């Protein structure tokens, strides 16, 4: 196994943030490693150069996913029941009590999270509650658009309007993942079916992969991508629910599929698979198998691999490694912004912002 160590340039502005590391230390750059990137905002197609911009320590482990907002802001919930908001420079802009595991961010910047075990709330930029609605016991929103917020409550999928009214509740089973579409949402239930629902809650179609659904669902250009417990990735026609193609894998899909803006589909089973939009297997790589945190599409044609053995890596659509690093520790989640910034969350709670 060969890998390229990533050189890290450090920028950390502690400002008035009470939780930031007061004495940041520069990390040495190994010989032949990547140089620190120039300052400025990269284009959406920019490829991560592996440069550390800042870190933030909330003092507790993250409960779930990191949600990204406009202008590089991020939001997450820690195990002590606190919702944190950070701006693009890593300064804390929001801190308030919250329940559930993960928030969501609406296009207008409103943050949506559970305010109690059964109550969904919308929160303004200043941390003030805009509305609350009872939805039943839930871990929080799975996906959101400028028209609706989707959450799993028991065996029900719930849709709430962005003004705080309950749109509908449909029994589809315990949903583990969701992806929004132009006219609704597609969800997956563990070892069950992939279900497409219209914006009014009507079930458009159901498709059960071989062995049942596993991994994640993703949507791009009228195609739904889903993993299979029986092995492999399915491409499904959004309009009909009919499978377009299936790329097999030796074992169940554990993480992904994740779709890059270029159309490359990344998934992990016994190894990482790179698949073209027409269903051709471009490559497979057993070197750094993703861990539980999974794969996260970023840039125009690349993916972040939160691998086992505490390794983080970025791969291109043709399977080449851009950089690898053991500097994060155990990775529990990650997210990327349209500007190309990568946010990595770890088991200690620390957030790394990498460009």
Residues paired with residue 304 on neighbouring β-strands, in sequence order: 296, 314
Q: What's the longest Cα–Cα distance across the chain?
A: 58
Q: How confident is the model at residue 20 (pLDDT cuts 50, 70, 90)?
A: very low
Beta strand pairing call for 243-247 and 233-237: antiparallel
Per residue in 235-287, pLDDT tens? 999 999 999 999 999 899 999 999 999 999 999 998 999 999 999 999 999 99
Asked if residue 307 belongs to a domain, the reply is yes
Residue 47 has a pLDDT of 60
Per residue in 80-106, pLDDT tens? 999 999 999 999 999 999 999 999 999
Distance CA 78, CA 171 (A): 29
pTM score, two decimals? 0.85
DSSP letters along 323-346, please? EEES-S-SEEEEEE-TTS-EEEEE
Whether the CB-CB separation of 49 and 57 falls below 8 Å is answered with no
Distance CA 54, CA 303 (A): 21
Asked if residue 236 belongs to a domain, the reply is yes
Asked if residue 135 belongs to a domain, the reply is no
- For residue 291, what are the domain limits? 175-323
Q: Kindly tell me if the per-residue pLDDT of 30 is higher than 80.
A: no
Asked if residue 280 belongs to a domain, the reply is yes
Lowest mean pLDDT among 41-50, 83-92, 192-201, 217-226: 41-50
Q: Kindly tell me if the per-residue pLDDT of 167 is higher than 60.
A: yes
Asked if residue 304 belongs to a domain, the reply is yes
Helices (H) and strands (E) in the chain, counts: 0, 32
Distance CA 310, CA 342 (A): 17
Residue 4 has a pLDDT of 39
Q: What is the CATH number of the domain that holds 233?
A: 2.130.10.10
More confident residue, 9 or 179: 179
Q: Kindly tell me if the per-residue pLDDT of 39 is higher than 50.
A: no
Asked if residue 105 belongs to a domain, the reply is no
The structural domain count of the chain equals 1
Asked if residue 309 belongs to a domain, the reply is yes
Beta strand pairing call for 184-189 and 194-198: antiparallel
Residue 48 has a pLDDT of 72
Residue 339 has a pLDDT of 75
Asked if residue 88 belongs to a domain, the reply is no
């Amino acid at each position: 196994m060969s890998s390229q160590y990533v050189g890290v340039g450090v920028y950390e502005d502690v400002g008035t943030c009470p939780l930031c590391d007061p004495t940041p230390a520069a990390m040495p750059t190994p010989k032949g490693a990547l140089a620190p990137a120039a300052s400025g905002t990269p284009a959406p197609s920019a490829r991560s150069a592996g440069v550390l911009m800042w870190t933030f320590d909330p003092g507790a482990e993250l409960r779930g996913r990191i949600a990204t907002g406009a202008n590089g802001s991020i939001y997450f919930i820690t195990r002590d029941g606190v919702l944190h908001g950070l701006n693009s420079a890593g300064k804390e802009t929001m801190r308030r009590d919250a329940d559930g595991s993960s928030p969501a961010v609406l296009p207008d910047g409103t943050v949506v999270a559970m305010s109690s075990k059964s109550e969904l709330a919308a929160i303004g930029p200043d941390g003030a509650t805009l509305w609350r609605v009872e939805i039943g016991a839930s871990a929080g929103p799975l996906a959101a658009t400028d028209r609706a917020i989707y959450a799993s409550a028991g065996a029900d999928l719930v849709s709430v309007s962005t003004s705080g009214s309950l749109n509908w509740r449909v029994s589809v089973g315990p949903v583990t993942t969701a992806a929004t579409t132009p006219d609704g949402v597609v969800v997956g239930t563990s070892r069950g079916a992939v279900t497409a629902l219209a914006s009014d809650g009507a079930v458009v179609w159901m498709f059960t992969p071989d062995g049942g659904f596993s991994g994640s669902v993703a949507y791009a250009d009228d195609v739904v991508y889903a993993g299979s417990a029986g092995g492999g990735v399915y491409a499904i026609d959004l309009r009909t629910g009919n499978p377009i193609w299936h790329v097999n894998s030796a074992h169940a899909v554990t993480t992904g599929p994740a779709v890059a803006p270029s159309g490359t589909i990344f998934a992990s089973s016994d190894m990482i698979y790179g698949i073209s939009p027409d269903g051709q297997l471009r490559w497979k790589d057993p070197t750094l198998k993703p861990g539980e945190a999974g794969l996260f599409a970023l840039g125009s044609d690349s993916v972040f691999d939160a691998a086992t053995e505490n390794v983080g890596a970025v791969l291109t659509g043709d399977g080449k490694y851009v950089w690898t690093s053991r500097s994060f520790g155990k990775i529990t989640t990650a997210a990327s912004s349209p500007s190309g910034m990568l946010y990595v969350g770890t088991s200690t709670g620390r957030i790394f912002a990498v460009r």
